[in-house]
Amino acid sequence: MDSAAGTNMHSTLDSCCSAHFAWNYDVCMGKLDETCVRAFWYPDWEGENIKCKRDGNEPLYMTDNPTMYMFNQKKDCCAEHYSWNLAECMGTAASTSAGKYYPDWLGDNMCKNDGAAPTYMTLNPTMWLHDTLSDCCTKNYGWKMKACMGASAPASSGLYYPDWSGDNEGCLADGNEPQYMVSNPSMWMFDTLTACCEKFYPFNLLACTGASPSAGTNKFYMDWIGANKCVQDCVGAAPCGGLADSWDVKYDTKIECCDEMMAWDPKTCKA
């Protein structure tokens, strides 16, 4: 040993391990936990397949080819086999996103800061992770900003809006308008029922405004199924032809109706 003192003698354990046991550095340094001392890191392809393990249960084909599958250090195994999931493989995903807000696309679809951001977000923090809730909501949920920010639902505005998603074919003022309408009230919300109905349901104005249909409009429409000519939108004797449907085009006079709807035989239509 004396003749090779310069080669074999080291002032620190780290220097000795690095020089002579680099292939098994953690064992030499005493860094291994209570796991079997012969264990090496290997890709857990037969398990969750998201990180490396070191439990001594690697498949035989890996132990037969250790230079390809077995690693002394976790970081080397993760870099080789789980570069796409490096943060989670190394156990740093949570700490990387801790305290940061991210869009929870697959969960509540809101911004969260629970440290559980997906790996692809932690690997690209400038794109996905945000210091404040406001920044996260603005970038990812601008279309429902109030809900994302956790703002309490406001009292009913009392304004009328078109009930596209409900069974009602008309306007409501129940305070349940969608967020996109709240965000653009000048387009979607109205002070009066009539204004809302005229904007969005002109084809079914009576039903939308809740007007009684029993009297009709007294305008004229083309009755293709019955009289096969223009009749009046009212109930009773001719020229009334019954109440028009919401889709019927209505005219102020019978002449206008016939000229438009039965121009090829206006005489029969006007009779």
Q: What is the mean pLDDT of each run of 10 residues along the chain (271 residues)?
A: 62 82 73 59 90 90 90 90 81 66 88 83 84 90 82 60 78 83 83 89 80 69 88 84 83 92 87 79
* 167 and 141 fall within a common domain: no
Residue 124 lies inside a defined structural domain of this protein: yes
Residue 4 lies inside a defined structural domain of this protein: no
From CA 207, how far away is CA 255, in angstroms rounded?
27
Please list the helix, strand and coil fractions of the chain in percent, rounded to the nearest 5, in that order: 40, 10, 45
Residue 76 lies inside a defined structural domain of this protein: no
Runs of H (alpha helix) within the chain? 5-8, 13-20, 25-29, 60-63, 66-69, 74-81, 86-90, 93-97, 119-122, 125-128, 133-140, 145-149, 179-182, 185-188, 193-200, 205-209, 254-261, 266-270
Q: Are 74 and 52 in contact (CB under 8 A)?
A: yes
Residue 84 lies inside a defined structural domain of this protein: no
- Which one-letter amino acid corresponds to residue 95? S
Residue 139 lies inside a defined structural domain of this protein: yes
pLDDT score, position 168: 65
> Could you give the 3-state DSSP secondary structure of residue 111?
strand
Q: Which residue has the tokens 């084909």?
A: 61
* 166 and 144 fall within a common domain: no
pLDDT score, position 167: 64
Residue 13 lies inside a defined structural domain of this protein: no
* 139 and 165 fall within a common domain: no
> Could you give the 3-state DSSP secondary structure of residue 90?
helix
* 203 and 228 fall within a common domain: no
In 153-175, which positions are buried (b, 16+ CB within 10 angstroms) versus exposed (e)?
eeeeeebbbbbeeeeeebbbbee
pLDDT score, position 70: 92
Number of domains in the chain: 3
Single residue among 209, 228, 244 that ends a domain in this structure: 209
pLDDT score, position 14: 81
Residue 198 lies inside a defined structural domain of this protein: yes
Residue 105 lies inside a defined structural domain of this protein: yes
Single residue among 120, 149, 178 that ends a domain in this structure: 149
* 98 and 142 fall within a common domain: yes
* 142 and 113 fall within a common domain: yes
> Bridge partners of 102?
112
pLDDT score, position 154: 45
Domain containing 176 equals: 161-209
The token pair at 64 is 């037969």
CB within 8 Å of 170: residues ≥ 6 apart: 162, 163, 197, 201, 204, 207, 208, 209, 210
> Could you give the 3-state DSSP secondary structure of residue 128?
helix
CB within 8 Å of 26: residues ≥ 6 apart: 32, 72, 73
